[in-house]
Amino acid sequence: MIQSDNEWSPLKEVILGSSKRFNWSTDDPVFMDAYETMGWDFGGPVSHNVIGETEVALQYYKSILQRFDVVVHRPVEIDYVELNAYGAYSPRDTVLIIGDKVIFTPCGWEKRRIEWDAYKHLFPNYTLCDDPAAHFDAAQVIRCNRDIIYLVSHGGNIEGANWLKDFLGKEYNIHLIGSDVYPGHHLDTTIIPLREGLVLLNAARMTEEHVPSFMKSWDKIWIHPNDLFDFQDGMMGSRSIYLNVFSINEHVVVCDPDQTFLIEELRKHNIMCHQVKLPHCKFLAGGHHCTTLDLHRAS
């Protein structure tokens, strides 16, 4: 069953990513342009050590989800090294689920679209964006029932927002967040709704002025990245990635065990943290929310 309207209702079924055969593409033009601009010094296949340690962590993550009777799917294995593509570590990025609608998103890094094939067996019906000018990753989007937040930035353009608005229709309200808040790719290290009426916010990016109108009256947990413990190197992610928590329900999230300040703040709001160490989340550019895609959340 496909039905997921928000980020916090009780989780029933999920895709958990895989780092197997992960590769940093060396012939995706948009990625390579960023590669040269940012002065990155990596590319090609990820080491067996990184993949091995990550797979152990993901297997433990799976066991945590299963404790809550969640059905866990894993991606179909694809040889991303042979294809010089990326990998299915972050299913959150390439498939957007809103209600019972499944959208394979027009990622700006075009070789990420190869990842669709890792999930197609789970979706008898899906939609492809038919506007060639539009590009966005699914993680540009945060779902709060009929309110949808969309980040217009490097990772998703206004054409993508307009296409999504037309596709969803008047049933949904689209709230735009601009690159003045965050010019990067994904929104789920900036605005993290934990339940109706409670949201976790990145204090280095957000201000009260930037909070979407429907969230103005919500309780807010403000966390600055400097309050987070940074335990790893990795050019593809910043310290903000430790805010990338994943909700199993309104009172349980999965997060990094070293983030004691964040864990204590969540406890004050009656949220328990199950702790999973993703040892290379910065290098692989994906935290606990990124590495999942919720297929079914209970109403």
Of 234 and 84, more confident: 84
- Report the CATH number that the domain containing residue 253 is assigned in CATH: 3.75.10.10
Higher pLDDT, 219 or 184: 219
What is d(CA 39, CA 45) in angstroms, rounded to the nearest whole number?
A: 18
The verdict on residue 4 lying in a domain is: no
DSSP secondary structure letters along 31-63: HHHHHHHHT----EEPPHHHHHHHHHHHHHHHH
Q: Are 213 and 149 in contact (CB under 8 A)?
A: no
83-88: average pLDDT: 96
Mean pLDDT of 22-27: 90
- Which runs of E-coded beta strand occur in the chain? 11-16, 23-24, 44-45, 71-73, 95-98, 101-104, 127-128, 141-144, 147-151, 173-177, 191-195, 198-202, 219-223, 246-249, 252-255, 272-275, 292-297
List, in sequence order, every beta strand (DSSP E) within 147-245.
147-151, 173-177, 191-195, 198-202, 219-223
At residue 203, φ and ψ (nearest 5 deg) are -70, -10
pLDDT reported for residue 39: 55
pLDDT at residue 32, rounded to an integer:
60
Please say if the pLDDT value at position 109 is more than 80: yes
Residue 5 located in a structural domain: no
pLDDT in tens, 36-53: 555 555 678 999 999 999
244 Cβ neighbours under 8 A, 6+ residues apart: 188, 189, 192, 281, 286, 287, 288, 289, 290
Q: What pLDDT, on the 0 to 100 scale, is given for residue 185?
A: 81
Amino acid at 153: S
- Predicted confidence at residue 42, as pLDDT, reads 65
| For residue 56, pLDDT beyond 70 | yes
pLDDT class of 179 with cuts at 50, 70, 90: confident
- 71 within a domain of the structure (yes/no): yes
Average pLDDT, the chain: 93
> What's the structural domain count of the chain?
1
Dist. CA 246–CA 8, nearest whole Å: 8
pLDDT confidence of residue 36: 55
Supply the range of the domain harboring residue 157: 11-297
Report the C-alpha gap between 35 and 15 in whole angstroms: 29
Q: Is 232 exposed, middle or buried (0-12, 13-18, 19+ CB in 10 A)?
A: middle
Residue 155 within any structural domain of the chain? yes
- Decide if 59 is inside a domain: yes
The answer to whether position 64 is within a domain reads: yes
The mean pLDDT value for 186-213 works out to 97
The CA distance from 46 to 278, in Å, is: 15
pLDDT at residue 172, rounded to an integer: 98
- Please report the pLDDT score of residue 9 as a whole number: 98
